[in-house]
Amino acid sequence: MPMCKCFASIAGYLHCLEKSGDFLMKRICVVGSLNVDFTIILPRFHAPGETISGSDFAVYTGGKGGNQAVALGRLGADVAMAGRIGDDENGSLYRRILRQERVRDDFVSVCDTPTGVALIEVDARTGDNRIALFSGANAQVDAAFIDRLWPALSAYDIFLMQFEIPMPTVLHAAEKIAGLGKTLIVDPAPAQPLPEALRRCAAYITPNETELALITGMPIGDQAQAQAAAQALCAQGARGVVAKLGAAGALLVTPEGAQHVPGFAVRAVDTTAAGDSFNAGFAFALAQGKSPLEATVFANAVGALSTTAMGAQAAMPSLDAALALMARTR
């Protein structure tokens, strides 16, 4: 596998991003979930039937869709969120946060089901998490919701979707997005089978190793196996597969070839939403006209920094912070 040569060109990359005012940045829309996360820090994950005490607890806004939107807002993207919340305090909290983070919330509507909730355990030793999810209002993001918004949504250039809204809705929206020739980035998380139609509609698919194994049915014991699986997936129609490898970075596979893009070393406190932040970084760089390889380098920086504090969204970086990490590692 060829080593990543992209760090040689980071000086130019930084220059271009720093001058981003000169670019006509593409508009990004995230279609997906909005959850409120109840997060507890435990000395270790607990076993069935066992009760153990945590050292910290907090309530954060989260959900894979909302996390991607907030990460994009923090980077300075022109971003809108499309999703649903309940008529409750969690929903109001989320709307406040979206506005605070400069995410357009016109496409977030209230329904009569409670806002989605996630119960998250974080292992204090590793920052790893376990999540139990209640979809709530996210389950009301249906095809009719997409159709109602479509006249406005279709003005966006790049779309991100994940799997915390119903799969029929994801498919419905994906057909519409691809039908207009727009760029669709699909994060197949949480892991579930990837319908054939979605493989055709997605420009980029961004699984982690677990998701890649489930989607392809291939073993992912090491990087070579991950590359083989990503290549098999890419051969089914996507412009690129970006396999997230955690601290090891990412594997970019396009019809032209495969490249390992190393991760950035940080001290991880809570890895919740690292994948969501990665996707946001990837979309942000593409929106600025960067190549998929440059976008993967940038995504690694955004994903890494997002793990350095508790909570899904707390450590999502500004553009300056992401560039500073990349510059330090040059």
Residues identified as active-site = 276
Q: State the CB neighbour count (10 A cutoff) for residue 43.
A: 12
Chain positions 218 to 237 lying near ligand RIB, rule: CB under 6 A, are none
Binds ligand RIB by CB under 6 A, chosen from 164, 209, 211, 294:
164
Q: Does 271 bind ligand RIB (CB under 6 A)?
A: no
Taking Cα atoms as reference points, which of 132, 102, 106, 204 lies closest to residue 161? 204
**Cis, peptide link before residue 151, omega less than 30° from 0:** no
Q: Does 276 bind ligand RIB (CB under 6 A)?
A: yes
Q: Which two tokens stand for residue 64?
A: 């894979």
- In the bound state with ligand RIB, the residue whose beta carbon lies nearer, of 60 and 107, is 60
Which residues sit opposite 253 in a β-bridge? 241, 258
Q: Does 64 bind ligand RIB (CB under 6 A)?
A: yes
Cβ-closest residue to ligand RIB?
62
Q: Does 312 bind ligand RIB (CB under 6 A)?
A: yes
- φ, ψ of residue 111 to 5 degrees: the values are -130, 180
Binds ligand RIB by CB under 6 A, chosen from 4, 41, 67, 82:
67
Q: State the CB neighbour count (10 A cutoff) for residue 38.
A: 16
Binds ligand RIB by CB under 6 A, chosen from 62, 91, 188, 249:
62
192-200: Cβ within 8 A, 24+ apart: 192/163, 192/167, 194/233, 195/167, 195/171, 196/236, 197/171, 198/170, 198/171, 198/174, 199/233, 199/236, 199/237, 199/238, 200/236, 200/237
Q: Does 131 bind ligand RIB (CB under 6 A)?
A: yes
- How many residues contact ligand RIB, by CB under 6 A? 15
Which residues sit opposite 120 in a β-bridge? 39, 131
In the complex, the smallest distance separating the C-beta of residue 163 from ligand RIB, rounded to whole angstroms, is: 10
- In the bound state with ligand RIB, the residue whose beta carbon lies nearer, of 17 and 302, is 302
| Contact window for ligand RIB (CB under 6 A) among 7-15, 79-87, 167-175, 269-277 | 269-277
Residues near ligand RIB (CB under 6 A) are 33, 35, 37, 62-64, 67, 118, 131, 133, 164, 272-273, 276, 312
